[in-house]
Structure 1
Amino acid sequence: MKAIEIRETGGPSVLQVVERPAPEIGGPDDILVKLKAAGVNPVDTKVRRNGPLVPDGLPAVLGCDGAGVVEAAGAGVTRFKPGDEVWFCWGGIGGSVGNYAEYIVLDNQLAQAKPRAVDFIQAGAAPLVLLTAWEALHDRARLSEGQRVLIHGGAGGVGHVAIQLAKAAGARVCTTVSSPEKADFVHALGAEYCINYQEEDLVASIMKWSEGQGVDIALDTIGPEVFRQTIPAMAHYGDLVTILDPGPELDLTEARMRNLRISLELMLTPMLRDLPRARTHQGDILRRCAKLIDHGDLQIHVSQTFPLTQAEAAHRLIEKGHVTGKLALVMD
C-alpha cells in the first residue's frame, strides 16, 4: 500500500511517499479499513517538525483521523462487517499507525458508523476537530442554553464546528475572523456577532455585544497572546478554555478577580495515556455529532483536498495559516 512516512523531523519535504505491506488484522476485535480520506491537522505538522509523541516513534505515519470502508473484521467483531462505512480518530502520533495511508487496522471499538449525510472527505476531516470542540465546550466549559460564547478563529477547523455545536446547544455565539469573507462564512454557520481582530478591539467589541457583561465561555484556538487578551472580555465566574499551551508567563490577577474557571483541552489524551473509558466517551461524542450532521444541524467545511501523494503540499498550505475549515487527503 502507499503511505506517507517520516523518518526524520523537519519541514514538509520530510514527508515521503513509500510502499508498505498492507496491515493485517492482529486480534479478534480488529477491523481492517480501506481509507478513503484523512484529515490534515495542525498537530500533524507539529509531530513532523518536533517529533512523535510516543517513544521510538520513527519512522512514523501521520494522520490522526480518517474515514473509509471496512474490508475485513476479526472473529470477535459484531459491530461492523465488510462494506460498512466508518470514521474515527486514531493513530498519527508516532509509529506505523496513521491515516496518511491506504489502509489502517484498529480496534473496532475506536470506529463509529460514518454519518450518512456526508461523503468520505468530510467524514475523514471531521473527527479530531469535532472531539476537540465538543470536549472544550461541553466537557470543560459545561455549555448550557442561553450562554454567550466566544469562539476564537471561527473560520478555522476547530472554530467552524465549535460555532455550530454552541449554536445547537442554544448558545449565542460571537467569533473572531480576519476578513469580511470569513465573516460571511461564520455568520452562515450561526455566529451572531463577528469581530475582525485586525481592525477591532476585542474587549470593547465583546463588551458592546454583551451589554457590558462579558462572555460566559471563551474558546481559545490561537495561542498565548489571544488567551491573555480574552481574560478581561470574560464574564465573572466564566469558563475560559484553550486548546493550546497558554505559556509560562501568565498573569492571572484579573482572572482570579473574575473567578474564572480555566481549562486545558487536548483530545489526544485518551490515546497518549491509554484511557479506555475516555476513548469510549469520545466514541459517544462522534455518535452524537453524526446525529447532528444527519439532521442537518452540523456541517463540515473542507476547503481543499489533496491526493495522498501530495501530503507535502497540504502541510505547506496549513502552515501558512488562515485555512478556512479543513484540509483533507484523498486516497482514491
Structure 2
Amino acid sequence: MRAIEIQKTGGPAVLQLVERPRPELTGPDDILVRLMAAGVNPVDTKIRANGALLPAGFPLVPGCDGAGVVEAVGADVTRFKPGDEVWFCHGGLGGPVGNYAEYICLDNHLAQAKPHALGFAEAAAAPLVLLTAWEALSDRAGLAADQTVLIHAGAGGVGHVAIQLARLAGARVCTTVSGPEKADFAHALGAEYCINYREEDLVHAVMEWTGGRGVDVALDTVGPACFRQTIPAMAAYGNLVTILDPGPDLDLKEARVRNLRLSLELMLTPQLRDLPRALAHQGEILRRCGKLIDSGELKIHVSQTFPLAAAAQAHQLLEAGHVTGKLALTID
C-alpha cells in the first residue's frame, strides 16, 4: 500500500511517499479499514519536527485522524461489517500505525459509524478537534448554560467546533480572530462577540462584553503568552483550560486571587497511557457528536484538501498559520 513515512525528524520534506505492506487482521476484535481520507493536525507537524510520542518511534506513519470503509473484520466483531463507513482518532504517534496511508488496522471499539452528513474528508478532519473541544469544555471546565466562554482562535480547527459545542450547551461565546473574514466565519458558527487580537486589547474587550465581570470559562488553543494574557480576563472562580503546555515561567498570583481552576487538556492521553475506560468515553463523545452532525446542529469546516502524495504541502500550509477550520488528505 502507499503511505507517507517519516524516517527522521525534520521539515515537511521528510514526509516521503513509500510502499509499505498492507496491514492484516491480528486479533478477533480488529477491523481493517481502507482509508479514504486523513485529518492533518498540528500534532502531526510537531511529531514530524520533534519525534515520536510512543516508543515504536521511526519509521513512522503519521496521522491521528482517519475515515474510510471497513474492508475486513475479525472473528468477534459484531459492530461492523465490510462496507461500513467509519471514523476514528487512532495511530500516528509512533511506528507504522497511522492514517497517512491507504489502510489501517485497529480495534473495532476505537471506531464509530461515520456520520451520514459528512463526506470522508470532513469526517477524517473531525475526531481529534471534536474530542479536544468536548473534553476541554465539558469534562475539564464543566461548561453550563448561561455561562460566558472565551474561545481563542475561533476560526481554527479546535476553535470552530468549540464555538458550536459551547453554543449547544447554552453558553454565550466570544472569540479571538485575526481579521474581518475570520470574524464573519466565527459569527456564522454562533459567536456573539469577536475580538480582533491584532487591534484590540483582550482584557478590555472581554470586560466590556461581560460588564466588568470576566468570562466564566476560557479555552486557550494558542500557547503560553495567550494563557497568561487570559488570566486577568477571567471571572472569579472561573475555569481556564489550555490544550498546550502553558510554559515554565508562570506567575499565578492573579489566578490564585481569582480562585481560578486551571486545567490541561490532551485528548491523546488515552492512547499514550493505554486507558481503556477513557478510550470508551471518547468513543461515546464521537457517537454523540455524530448525532449532532447528522441533525444539522454541528458542522465541520474543511478549507482545503490535498492528495496523499502532497502531505508536505499540507504541513507547510498548517505551519504557516491562520488556516480556517481544518485540512485533510484525500486518499484515492
Shorter-chain TM-score: what band?
A: over 0.9
SS in 1 for 2:99: coil
Matched, 1:108 2:124: no
Pairing of 1:1-332 with structure 2 (within 5 A): 1-332=1-332
Cα-to-partner distance string for 1:39-59 (whole Å, 9 max, x where unaligned):
000000000000000124100
Give, in whole Å, the separation in 2 of the partners of 1:110 and 1:131: 13
Amino acid at match of 1:16: Q
Normalised by the length of structure 2, the TM-score is 1.00
Name the CA distance, whole Å, in 1 between partners of 2:115 and 2:211.
39
Q: Alpha-carbon deviation of 1:278?
A: 0.2
- Identity, % of aligned pairs? 77
2:240 counterpart SS class: strand
CA distance in 1, matches of 2:87, 2:226: 32
Residues 117-144 of structure 1, C-alpha deviation per residue, up to 9 Å, x if partnerless?
A: 1111100000000000000000000011
Distance 1:118 1:51 in 2: 32
The count of corresponding residues between Structure 1 and Structure 2 is 332
**How many Å apart are 1:269 and its aligned residue?**
0.2
Q: CA deviation digits over 1:75-111, x for unaligned, max 9?
A: 0000000000000000000100000000000000000
User: Aligned partners of 2:7, 2:164: CA distance in 1, in Å?
Assistant: 38
Distance in 2 between the 1:47 and 1:161 partners? 23
What amino acid is the match of 2:288? R
> SS of the residue aligned with 2:22?
coil
3-state SS of 1:79 partner: coil
For residues 262 and 296 of structure 2, what CA distance do their matches in structure 1 show? 32
1:327 Cα deviation from its structure 2 partner: 0.2
Gaps of 5+ in 1: none
SS at match of 1:239: strand
Distance in 1 separating the partners of 2:297 and 2:168: 7
Deviation (angstroms), 1:32: 0.3
- How far, CA to CA, are the matches of 1:302 and 1:201 in structure 2? 30
Name segments (4+ residues, structure 1) moved above 3 Å. Answer: none
Q: Distance in 1 between matches of 2:223 and 2:5?
A: 29
Aligned partner of 1:178: which letter? Answer: S
Cα deviation 1:166-225 (Å, max 9, x = unaligned)? 001100000000010000000000000000000000000000000111000000000000
What residue identity is the alignment partner of 1:162?
A
Q: Please, which runs of 5 or more residues in structure 2 have no aligned partner?
A: none
Deviation at 1:21, TM superposition (A): 1.2
The amino acid across from 1:306 in the alignment is F
Quote how far apart the aligned CAs of 1:2 are. 0.4
Question: Which amino acid is the alignment partner of residue 91 of structure 1?
Answer: G
Distance in 1, matches of 2:225 and 2:125, equals 28
Where 2:9 maps in the other structure, the secondary structure is: coil
Aligned with 1:61: secondary structure?
Answer: coil
Letter matched to residue 210 of structure 2 = S
Distance in 2 of aligned mates of 1:98 and 1:40: 12
Q: Distance in 2 between matches of 1:123 and 1:320?
A: 24
Partner-residue secondary structure (3-state), 1:290: helix
What TM-score does the superposition give when structure 1 sets the normalisation length? 1.00
In 1, Cα distance between equivalents of 2:257 and 2:293: 40
Secondary structure at 2:54's aligned position in 1? coil
